[in-house]
């Protein structure tokens, strides 16, 4: 039997937001107000498409963007966690489900040398067009009214676990690690033997605490363990192996 570790990326694997970190490649490290104000709630991926077009318009090369993205720091203890996972691949599967994009995550994981710990990444696909500008599109379409239009993490997790079970890898336990509001929906998929780990002081912890106060709320059946560093996650993982 195998344990599945599910990791968010921004403010989880890395200790910042990769989509805002990329602004460090701009001379003033900020966007013009007209572009900042173009964001519509739930449509972040569309906004990032415009941001990356603007960065390209400023003559900033993909190499410069990559160099900046590779400097984003890992969250404390995350390197140790990923190293442990990579050494125990016979009993631990690890996936990333993120609202970032495929290029940023690929660059960052390769820069850390820890990419072998992650089996699959589910995120918004990105590529460089003929002009050298990075484009980003939504991961999928869905009918969940709780999630951003581009990504329902519960839907991704459900399909992945179902596919793995059908192919002969049923998971004894799922450990879901995240921080944000878009990490709440997938927690309703988890069972009593599973674990949801919200980052201390972040939105997911507050949302789960609010649900807990609603007596009889059945939406989160998993054990809740708050984390502050990758060391906390590693300890929780080791004790459940």
Which residues are catalytic, by number? 8, 10
Distance, CA of 37 to chain centre: 25
The partner residues of 19 in beta bridges, in order of sequence, read none
Cα–Cα nearest to 6, from 173, 149, 144, 170: 173
Q: CA-to-CA distance for 18 and 162, rounded, in angstroms?
A: 30
Structure tokens at 12: 């989880």
- List Cα–Cα distances, 182 to 9, 64, 74, 151, 214, in angstroms: 12, 30, 20, 9, 20
Positive or negative torsion for Cα 86, 91, 96, 102: positive
Distance, CA of 146 to chain centre: 17
114 three-state secondary structure: coil
Cα atoms found within 13 Å of the Cα of residue 113, Cβ hemisphere only: 3
**Residue-by-residue DSSP string for 134-199:** EEE--S-----TTS-TT--HHHHHHHHHHHHHHTT--EEEEEEEE-SGGGHHHHTT--TT-EEEEB
Q: CA-to-CA distance for 181 and 161, rounded, in angstroms?
A: 22
Q: Are 55 and 65 in contact (CB under 8 A)?
A: yes
């Amino acid at each position: 039997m195998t344990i599945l570790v599910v990791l968010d990326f921004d403010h989880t694997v890395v200790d910042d937001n990769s989509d805002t970190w990329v602004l460090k490649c701009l001379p003033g490290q900020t966007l013009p107000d007209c572009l900042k104000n173009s964001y519509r709630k739930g449509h972040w991926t569309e906004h990032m498409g415009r941001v990356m077009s603007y960065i390209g318009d400023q003559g900033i090369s993909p190499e410069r963007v990559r160099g900046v993205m590779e400097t984003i720091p890992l969250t404390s203890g995350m390197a140790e966690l990923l190293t442990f996972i990579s050494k125990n691949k016979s009993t631990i599967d690890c996936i990333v489900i993120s609202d970032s994009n495929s290029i940023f995550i690929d660059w960052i994981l390769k820069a850390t040398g820890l990419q072998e710990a992650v089996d699959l990444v589910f995120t918004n696909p990105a590529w460089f067009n003929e002009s050298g500008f990075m484009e980003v599109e939504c991961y999928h379409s869905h009918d969940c009214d709780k999630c951003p239009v581009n990504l329902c993490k519960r839907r991704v997790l459900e399909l992945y676990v179902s596919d793995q079970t059908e192919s002969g890898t049923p998971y004894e336990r799922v450990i879901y690690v995240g921080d944000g509001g878009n990490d709440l929906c997938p927690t309703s998929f988890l069972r009593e033997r599973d674990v949801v780990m919200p980052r201390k002081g972040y939105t997911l912890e507050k949302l789960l605490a609010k649900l807990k106060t609603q007596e009889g709320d059945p939406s989160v059946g998993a054990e809740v363990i708050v984390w502050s560093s990758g060391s906390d996650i590693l300890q929780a993982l080791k004790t459940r192996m």
